[in-house]
């Protein structure tokens, strides 16, 4: 477990406190239990140095039974940010590809089916930068730190409605994938304050059912000013599409990965199965708030689209040629 600024530490004392809190929330009563691990990962965006989200708690809703809440900043389970036990700020940009960051580590919960999971976050637009984005090179906003607006995030949190099962006596290892390319919405053209909105697109995956995709891109595909990324689409997709939430002209990607300086990429936490993958040099103009296929918008052009199959616990290598 890493420590220091931006990393969560859950000690044995913290786990004891969480167990007491679980009992108080109705998780006891002598019922059979299982172990739950929960981690975060993300797909990065081009112009950001960091995307920091301030988390308060994790809520679980059993299919039968009372809601369970794990407080991430409760005394005894602090998230150390500059020795401030009142904050649990995580820089999602540090956990990309196959990297992830554990927020619940070996907690005991009632066995059985769960209907949904929710992340409580701090995202109120005020003078306190609890959740924020740090920019390096943006076409419309100067380099610096800007507050993130998460609409309704402070009231309703970030909810994932995918059911999951915790087996009695077993270990359930889940990862939440924040795709920042789909989740961070750029400021509107008339917005002089550079307000960035985070409307998270989240995938909840079981780590026992996932593999990875990795590879490289031939230099011959790299045009001048290339903002390179690999997009991964559902197997039913016929035509690769930009991120716009409009399935009429093609499906949005399930996941994306930026191209490194060495022209390599890695997409982690893909559930086993078939996918369509494609490369683009236009990732920098792909704004999730607009449809880049309409007239007047910069197009997102894809190349090398190929069908691939992902296998559990394996990293498939796929290289994009000229």
**Which tens digit of pLDDT belongs to each residue from 253-294?**
999 999 999 999 999 999 999 999 999 999 988 888 788 888
Q: Beta strands 264-271 and 48-62: pairing type?
A: unpaired
Statement to judge: residues 43 and 180 lie in one domain? yes
The whole-number pLDDT of residue 219 equals 96
CB 172 within 8 A of CB 166: yes
Let me know whether 162 and 185 are in one domain: yes
Q: How many domains does the chain have?
A: 2
- Report whether pLDDT(127) > 90: no
Asked whether residue 186 falls in the same domain as residue 141, the answer is yes
The CA dihedral of 100, 106, 112, 113, to the nearest 10 degrees, is -20
Please indicate, yes or no, if residue 5 is contained in any of the structural domains: no
Q: What CA–CA distance (Å, rounded) separates 27 from 21?
A: 9
* Domain range enclosing 87: 12-200
The verdict on 214 and 196 lying in the same domain is no
Could you give the C-alpha distances from 39 to 11, 62, 102, 245, 249, in angstroms and in order? 16, 19, 4, 26, 33
Local confidence band at 24 (pLDDT 50, 70, 90 cut-offs): very low
Looking at residue 129, what is its pLDDT?
A: 73
Residues 220 and 176 in one domain: no
Task: Measure CA of the first residue to CA of the last residue in the chain; give whole Å.
Answer: 41
Answer with the one of 200, 227, 253 that is the final residue of a domain: 200
Q: Is 232 left (phi over 0), alpha (psi -120 to 50) or beta?
A: beta
Q: Are 120 and 58 in contact (CB under 8 A)?
A: yes
* pLDDT value at 1 more than 80: no
171 and 238 together in one domain: no
Question: Read out DSSP for 240-296?
Answer: ---SSS-GGGSPPPSEEEEPPTTSEEEEEEEESEEEEEEEESBGGG--TTS-TTSTT
Token representation of residue 305? 């689209």
Where residue 262 sits, what CATH number does that domain have?
2.60.40.1120
- What is the arithmetic mean of pLDDT over 187-214? 83
Kindly state whether residues 61 and 166 are assigned to the same domain.
yes
Together in a domain, 21 and 48: yes
Q: Identify the domain boundary among 168, 200, 232.
A: 200
Task: Provide the mean pLDDT of the chain.
Answer: 81
In a domain, 2, yes or no: no
């Amino acid at each position: 477990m890493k420590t220091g600024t931006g990393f969560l530490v859950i000690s044995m004392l913290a786990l004891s406190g969480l167990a007491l809190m679980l009992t108080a929330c109705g998780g006891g009563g002598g019922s059979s239990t299982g172990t739950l691990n929960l981690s975060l990962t993300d797909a990065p965006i081009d112009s950001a140095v960091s995307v920091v989200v301030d988390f308060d708690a994790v809520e679980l809703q059993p299919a039968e039974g009372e809601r369970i809440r794990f407080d991430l900043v409760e005394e005894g389970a602090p998230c150390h940010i500059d020795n401030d036990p009142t904050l649990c700020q995580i820089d999602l940009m540090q956990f990309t590809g196959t990297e992830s960051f554990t927020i619940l580590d070996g907690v005991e919960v009632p066995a059985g089916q769960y209907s949904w999971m929710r992340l409580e976050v701090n995202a109120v637009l005020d003078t306190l930068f609890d959740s924020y984005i740090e920019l390096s090179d943006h076409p419309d906003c100067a380099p610096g730190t800007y507050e993130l607006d998460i609409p309704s995030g402070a009231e309703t949190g970030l909810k994932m409605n995918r059911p999951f099962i915790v087996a009695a006596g077993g270990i359930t290892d889940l990862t939440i994938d924040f795709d920042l390319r789909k989740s961070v919405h750029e400021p509107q053209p008339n917005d002089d304050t550079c307000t960035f909105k985070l409307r998270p697109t989240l995938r909840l995956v079981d780590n026992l059912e996932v593999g990875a995709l990795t590879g490289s891109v031939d230099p011959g595909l790299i045009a001048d000013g290339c903002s390179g990324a690999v997009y991964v689409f559902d197997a039913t997709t016929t035509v690769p599409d930009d991120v716009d939430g409009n399935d009429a002209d093609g499906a949005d990607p399930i996941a994306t990965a930026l191209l490194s300086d060495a022209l390599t990429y890695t997409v982690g936490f893909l559930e086993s199965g078939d996918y369509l993958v494609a490369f683009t040099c236009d990732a920098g103009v792909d704004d999730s708030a607009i449809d880049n296929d309409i007239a007047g918008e910069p197009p997102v052009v894809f190349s090398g689209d190929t069908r691939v199959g992902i296998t559990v616990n394996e990293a498939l290598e796929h290289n994009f040629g000229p």
